[in-house]
Structure 1
Amino acid sequence: MANMCPYGRFTHAVVRGIPETFGKPAGDGRENGEISVDLAKAQRQFGCLTGALRQKVGLQLIEIPPDPELPESWRIEDVAVIQGDTALITRPFKQQRRCEVEAVRRVMSELNLTVVEMGTEEGDSAGATLEGSDVLFTGREFFVGISSHTNRRGAEVLADTFRDFAVSTVPVCGGARLKNICSMGGPDTIIISNSDGAKKTLRMMEQLTDHHYEILTVPEESAANCIYIKGPSKRDFLLHRPTEECPDSISAFQKLQDYTHLPTACSEASKLGASLSSLCLLINRKHTYF
């Protein structure tokens, strides 16, 4: 099962369009109410992201149409964890979000990936919740953030699925999900927020791993989530928040001098607690099956 390709090598990106119900939480929304967002701006930012992935990085883009009945389905990273030829279809915390997996499952099957289901509330996966934005794969191992969205049983299911890799659980001490506070900035490089909670989570990660990672600290928490891709051209790309959204973090990104930097706006999704990587699933396939 282990993927022997260089870390960050991808050929495809799967995304799901921004629906007209963007900003409305899954369910009736009575508990927290709706958050004020600019739908048109969110759709433009989504278009810029997909354009960068397709035209600048060179990935094959697969876009699932938006579904107004699934207002959070654009957070596509939550519903699958993909490594090598295996896709684990997750179980989001909110019951209302679990219908989101159906369209993603079909795409994974069409790409000839081995699809593993977390299953129903019964059996070995009973009580498990797992969202992909709580999962950080470093190329060597998995870290799973235990948060309000992902529990230990969900992490156990992931460990059972990807047995070629060590899987460690860490509490999310800052941010709603693990990848709100950290992401991979390349092979052996972790980008992490400078917040106290993020530092605490990082210390626990360092205690649990046998590997050494370079640490790139950014002062703004929203800048901590980036997308690293070694594209088909074998160039190193880093998609990160632009100057107007994270002005204090740009100098940190520039330390990665050999990278092609692609500033990518994500302000509207960020209002809803989402990070840049929430909007795509990255896959490495040698052949196209469409």
Structure 2
Amino acid sequence: MANVCPYGYFTHAVVRGVPETFGKPAADGRENGEASVDLAKAQRQFGCLTGALRQKVGLQLIEIPPDPELPESWRIEDVAVIQGDMALITRPFKQQRRSEVEAVRRVMSELNLTVVEMGGEEGDSGGATLEGSDVLFTGREFFVGISSHTNRRGAEVLADTFRDFAVSTVPVCGGARLKNICSMGGPDTIIISNSDGAKKTLRMMEQLTDHHYEVLSVPEESAANCIYIKGPSKRDFLLHRPAEECPDSASAHREAGKTLDMLLLFHS
């Protein structure tokens, strides 16, 4: 699902199915970012996610068909950052992932969003890499994680695109992507892993912002990856991993849910 302002009400979600090639060796001979993949489970989880978004949250779903030539294209959040009526089409780090943007670009245009292209090797954004899973929008400002997937030039392009908001860069410590260690858990609430690396990233975020955020720490890193949604019915939802996957973090999720109308279990 593409990144959208948590303070604006969601109306649509753009998703892309899990291809049969997910988990098979990519062109460079390495696995697609996964140590072990249960394809059938991943596809079942995708079905649960889309069902929850459509039936429980009430969003209009736009489903892009899976592409066997693009094994990681289900990570659709990586290729577009959306705020308001503007969509920044990003430039993933891996060369073989850059074709993923084409289908997403078409959808953004069909939704009548203003589409900004990050661009290629040449030009003003030459050398920039940016993936949406390294972007945290709080409703007030952006934090961009500098990681193996996203560089400072990519963060500069994002800042130039969304000029109405402050953009700060922070190192991703203890996780592959920023979303692996923190996410929004509600208005002005950040859910973050209590690992040493995540705490280091959080301290830098606190030094760089003028805003106050409530912080909920979770002992399991995977529990920090949530999606906060303001639905079209003006009800709030939090998608997170179920208690059986993250039993030590269930109480933190419940605490976040005290201000929400509903909690949804999110298998990722």
2:88 aligned residue? 88
What's the offset of the Cα at 1:29? 2.1
Q: 1:43 to 1:89 in 2, by over 3 A?
A: same
**What is the alpha-carbon distance in structure 2 between the residues aligned to residue 27 and residue 203 of structure 1?**
38
Residue 26 (structure 1) shift: 4.0
CA contact (8 A) 2:92 2:129 kept: yes
Residues 259-284 of structure 1 show CA distances to partners (whole Å, capped at 9, x for unaligned) of xxxxxxxxxxxxxxxxxx9999999x
Counterpart secondary structure, 1:248 = helix
Unmatched tracts of structure 2, length 5 or more: 253-257
Aligned counterparts of 2:263 and 2:17: Cα–Cα separation in 1: 16
SS of 1:29's equivalent?
Answer: coil
Q: For residues 280 and 141 of structure 1, do their structure 2 counterparts lie closer, same or farther at Cα, with a shift above 3 Å needed? A: farther
Q: 1:36 Cα deviation (Å)? A: 2.9
Cα deviation 1:21-52 (Å, max 9, x = unaligned):
11135423248897432111110000000100
Q: Name the CA distance, whole Å, in 2 between partners of 1:2 and 1:165.
A: 18
Conserved 8 A contact 1:2-1:164: no
Q: Deviations over 1:54-99 (max 9, x none)?
A: 0000000000000000000000000000000000000000000000
Cα gap change, 1:170 to 1:187, in 2 (>3 Å): same
Cα offset for 1:186?
Answer: 1.1
Whether contact under 8 Å (2:236, 2:260) holds in the other structure is no
Q: Structure 1 124/5 Cα, relative in aligned 2: closer, same or farther at 3 Å?
A: closer
For each residue in 1:175-198, what CA deviation from the matched residue of structure 2 results, as whole angstroms up to 9, or x when unmatched? 100111000011100000010000
Q: Is the Cα contact below 8 Å between 2:235 and 2:261 reproduced in 1?
A: no
Check 1:26–1:80 CA distance in 2 against 1; reply closer, same or farther (3 A cut).
farther
CA separation of 1:282 and 1:82: change in aligned 2, threshold 3 A: farther
* TM-score for both structures, normalised by structure 1: 0.83
Call closer, same or farther: CA 1:5–1:135 in 2, change over 3 Å.
Answer: closer
- In 2, distance between residues paired with 1:14 and 1:249? 28
1:124-160 deviation line (CA, Å, top 9, x unaligned):
0011000000000000000000000000000000000
Q: Secondary structure of the residue that 1:164 maps to in structure 2?
A: coil
Structure 1 moving runs of 4+ over 6 Å: 1-6, 31-34, 277-283
CA–CA distance in structure 1, aligned partners of residues 106 and 263 of structure 2: 16
Q: Percent identity?
A: 92
Q: Does the Cα contact within 8 Å between 1:133 and 1:278 map onto a contact in 2?
A: no
Aligned to 2:51: 51
> C-alpha root-mean-square deviation of aligned residues, in Å?
4.9
Going from structure 1 to structure 2, the CA distance change for 1:226 and 1:54 (only over 3 Å counts) comes to: same
- Compared with structure 1, are the counterparts of its residues 25 and 161 closer, same or farther at alpha carbon in structure 2 (3 Å cutoff)? farther
Bigger drift between 139-148 and 32-41 goes to 32-41
Q: Is the contact between residue 81 and residue 87 of structure 2 (CA under 8 Å) also seen in structure 1? A: yes
Q: Work out the CA distance in 2 between the residues paired with 1:215 and 1:132.
A: 22
- Contact kept, 8 Å, 2:239 with 2:263, in 1: the verdict is no
In 2 relative to 1, CA 280–31 (structure 1 residues): closer, same or farther, beyond 3 Å? farther
SS at match of 1:234: coil
Say how many residue pairs are matched. 261
- Select the structure with the greater relative contact order (CA < 8 A; seq sep ≥ 6): 1
Alpha-carbon shift at residue 232 of structure 1 (Å): 1.1
The corresponding residue for 1:7 is 7
The 5-angstrom pairing of residues 67-86 of structure 1 reads 67-86=67-86
Match of 2:260 in 1: 279
Aligned to 1:130, the other structure's residue is in SS state: coil
Conserved in 2, the CA contact under 8 Å of 1:14 and 1:62?
A: yes
Asked if the contact 2:85/2:113 (under 8 Å) is kept, the reply is: yes
For 1:222 and 1:243, locate their aligned partners in 2 and report how far apart those are by CA, in whole Å. Answer: 12
Report the Cα distance in structure 1 between the residues aligned to 2:60 and 2:263, rounded to whole angstroms: 10
8 Å CA contact 2:174–2:196 kept in 1: the answer is: yes
Indicate how the Cα distance of structure 1 residues 25 and 113 shifts in structure 2: closer, same or farther if over 3 A, else same. Answer: farther
Q: Using a 3 Å threshold, how does the CA distance of structure 1 residues 102 and 25 change in structure 2: closer, same or farther?
A: farther
1:26 and 2:26 correspond: yes
Q: 1:203 Cα shift?
A: 0.2
- Residue 243 of structure 2 corresponds to 243
205 and 236 in structure 1: CA distance in 2 versus 1, 3 angstrom threshold: same
| Contact 1:15/1:76, CA 8 A, preserved across alignment | yes
Q: Distance in 2 between matches of 1:2 and 1:28?
A: 27
Structure 1 residues 25, 229: closer, same or farther in 2, change over 3 A? farther
Task: Report the 3-state secondary structure (helix = DSSP H, G, I; strand = E; otherwise coil) of the residue aligned with 2:248.
Answer: coil
